[in-house]
A and B are shown apart, each in its own frame.
Chain A
Amino acid sequence: AQSVAQPEDQVNVAEGNPLTVKCTYSVSGNPYLFWYVQYPNRGLQFLLKYITGDNLVKGSYGFEAEFNKSQTSFHLKKPSALVSDSALYFCAVRDWGSSNTGKLIFGQGTTLQVKP
């Protein structure tokens, strides 16, 4: 079965420190992976994606993600966290089990708390 796992419900970091939000996946086809961010009472905003190519993907707001095929992981990272990065983060993978080519499978979400 295809799935996405975000093993941490919450990640706490101090402002200025590096942050990592973890994501692992299981898919039957090529791993097309996405990260989204959600602020309170808002929709999801797209941050970055991995389709093919370099394992380190750069996205919006200084975020990047590292694709690791052997570990089936796609961890979100940022070198220096800001208080304004505090939000809910979702990892998602393309669902190859569906005839709908746009369908995604989402992880449970990880709350990032950045303290001043």
Chain B
Amino acid sequence: DGGITQSPKYLFRKEGQNVTLSCEQNLNHDAMYWYRQDPGQGLRLIYYSQIVNDFQKGDIAEGYSVSREKKESFPLTVTSAQKNPTAFYLCASSLKDSYNQPQHFGDGTRLSIL
């Protein structure tokens, strides 16, 4: 079945450490997104990418970095500069130029501080 796979499901970060969250999709979607979810705050957009080798900052990009070397993959790195990384991270994808199509979501990675 086509879908989005996020790994790991749970991740722990030590002080000063960078960690990378994986997101892979086999839906042949051009656009991919990373969201951060905190209780009571809904979803906030971190980064998005519409095509390979191109990505844009979202609303809360500080302390995060991404790459888009392959269409299927959009990894997110939470750097040590992100002082409050504890959250639920969601990856999504959609067709390019898809005004009327929904985004499809993975099952998330929960990141905590050790």
Contact B31 A34 (CB under 8 A): no
Neighbouring A residues of B96 by C-beta, 8 Å: 101-102
A100-B50 contact in complex given A43-B105, A51-B100, A108-B40, C-beta closer than 8 Å: yes
B27: min CB distance to chain A, Å: 12
Q: How far is the CA of A44 from the CA of B108 in the complex (A)?
A: 9
A102-B95 contact in complex given A42-B107, A43-B108, A49-B102, C-beta closer than 8 Å: yes
Contact B98 A32 (CB under 8 A): no
Contact B108 A32 (CB under 8 A): no
Chain A residues numbered 71-116 whose CB sits less than 8 Å from any CB in chain B? 90, 94, 100-104, 106-109
* Residue B63 at the chain A interface, CB threshold 8 Å: no
Contact B42 A109 (CB under 8 A): yes
* Residue B101 at the chain A interface, CB threshold 8 Å: yes
Neighbouring B residues of A104 by C-beta, 8 Å: 103
Q: How far is the CA of A42 from the CA of B110 in the complex (A)?
A: 10
Neighbouring A residues of B95 by C-beta, 8 Å: 102
A100-B56 contact in complex given A42-B108, A43-B90, C-beta closer than 8 Å: yes
* Residue A8 at the chain B interface, CB threshold 8 Å: no
Partner of A101, one of B45, B88, B99: B99
Q: How far is the CA of A104 from the CA of B96 in the complex (A)?
A: 13
Contact A43 B107 (CB under 8 A): yes
Contact B90 A44 (CB under 8 A): yes
User: What is the number of residues of chain A that contact chain B, defined by CB distance less than 8 Å?
Assistant: 23
A100-B48 contact in complex given A32-B100, A49-B102, C-beta closer than 8 Å: yes
Neighbouring A residues of B102 by C-beta, 8 Å: 34, 36, 46, 49
Neighbouring A residues of B41 by C-beta, 8 Å: 108
* Nearest A residue to B94, CB-CB: A102
Looking at B42, B97, B104, the one whose CB has the most chain A CB atoms below 10 A away is B42
Q: How far is the CA of A9 from the CA of B48 in the complex (A)?
A: 28
Chain B residues numbered 35-84 whose CB sits less than 8 Å from any CB in chain A? 40-43, 45, 48, 50, 56
- Of the A-B pairs whose beta carbons lie under 8 Å apart in the complex, a sample of 11, sorted by A's number, is A32-B99, A32-B100, A36-B105, A42-B108, A43-B4, A101-B98, A102-B97, A102-B99, A106-B42, A108-B41, A108-B42
